Structure 1
Amino acid sequence: MSRWVVPVAALSLLTLAGCATPVGGASPTPISSGSASTSASPTPTATTAPTATAAPSPAVTPFTGDVLIVTDGIVDGRLEVTAMVPKVSESGGTCTLELVGTDRTVSVTGAEGNDVTYCGVMSIPVDAPADDLQFRVRYESSTTRAESAVSTVEPAP
């Protein structure tokens, strides 16, 4: 049924468009000086049903690699994580640390390196024991998207 909705709706709009008043209002039919009145009959026009086209795909090409966690730990009641995106070297993307199972996130701007993008220290306050914490890091720019696996906090030595 849904494949008929777009053509029927478009045809309805085209039909209604023919009844619309032109921009600036309706123009009067000119009356020639040689006759009392002139009537003009409208010329019929053929309409064709529009064809549905697929929406253009976004310009972003997903990166098939991973965000790698470089360091993680609990420091003064905060989860602190650094990460990197290998094989992508760009500045201006966004690195986001997410505390899994909560709505807590924090973001930093990625920094370009030699065949890598670095995600500096991302820090989120935590109130759960380190053993119960799970997190993930995502990276996104205008050309790249990458994500780490869900990770747990490494125990302190």
Structure 2
Amino acid sequence: MKDIKKRQRGYRNLRKALCVGYANKLAERMVQHNGYRTIGFKPQLVQVHPSSTLKTDEDGMFPNYIVYHELIATSRPFMRNVCAVEMAWVSPILKKLEKLDIDKLSGGSGRSIREESEKKVTSLPKKEEAVAGVPDDRESRIQAARDRFLARKGKK
């Protein structure tokens, strides 16, 4: 009996270590169905792969949180090699993920990508200045394209 409890505790510790170590591979069960939403930078809806041995509870539902090893895209995205994790293990990770700045983590300046793109857009020259001499109306652009095509065709 002691050996079984010791083994169960060992598996529980292993699942906890997987939860912490693979925090970027966490998924949360959707409320209305057995599908999951990956947690992280780009969340997506996924299903548990049919070959998975993940067990359902008494109501036929999968666990609320799982860790997966890989995503497979067939007709639908599936998670393979999954194991259940407990909410108590996931809560501290979610709190850290809320505060995490992906840009800073990847060696960026710490400013958001949106701020930098807005700054670049405001520093760009006006459209009229950048494309001087090119007609704006549709018909003249079409005619200019025809002229270029005919000029190339005539050279051959």
TM-score of the two chains, using structure 1 as the length reference: 0.18
Which has a greater percent of strand?
1
Structure with the bigger RCO (C-alpha within 8 Å, sep 6+) is 1
